[in-house]
Amino acid sequence: MNSNPESDLGFTGGQFNDFSGTAVLDELQEKLDDDDSTKYVLIKHDYYSSDSVHGRELLGSFLQNLCESSYKNIIVYLLDKGTLLLDESNPLYDEMLRLVDRAEMIIADKESISADCLPDTVNGKLILRTTFSITEEIIYLTDLLILG
């Protein structure tokens, strides 16, 4: 067996070196401390990755980190099962309340809020919109983080 990783992967010449190490990281946009841009977050489920304890822990960590981030403006969209984060019985309800307090606004899918009999107001920041309206809006966002 050949012990040369470059030939094992079928890379030739400088191809492998161009994408190794931190080359990709160097190309990522840096977030500056004085960045006052808006971060848009779309949450589609009340868990991350899988509907399990681990999936909820992952989402809980993400919500906590988002609350502690240095972004000045955060706008959160809740669609489908993401609206279940607003249910008081949800294990991530407290983390979601912290995000509600931290965010500029929370925009929720009113069809899902209604279907799951969830409150239509949370700390005065919840804005209800139709799924169609939310979809039209997020199509044009360039800085959207999608969960779930």
In DSSP notation, 41-77 reads EEE-SSSSSSSSHHHHHHHHHHHHHHHHS--SEEEEE
Kindly state the average pLDDT of the residues 71-78.
93
Which range has the worst mean pLDDT, 54-58, 72-76, 118-122? 118-122
CA angle 141, 143, 146 (to 5 degrees): 90
Give the pTM. 0.75
Q: What number of H helices and E strands is found in the chain?
A: 7, 5
Please name the residues in contact with 64: beta carbons below 8 A apart, sequence gap of 6 or more. Answer: 95, 98
Of all residues in the chain, what percent are helix, strand and coil, respectively (each to 5)?
A: 40, 15, 45
pLDDT digits (tens, 9 = 90+) for 26-48: 444 555 555 577 899 999 999 88
SS3 102: helix
Q: What is the mean pLDDT of the chain?
A: 81
Domains in the chain, CATH or no CATH each: 1-27 (no CATH), 31-147 (3.40.1260.10)
Residue 63 backbone dihedrals phi, psi, to 5 degrees: -60, -40
pLDDT digits (tens, 9 = 90+) for 109-122: 999 999 999 988 88
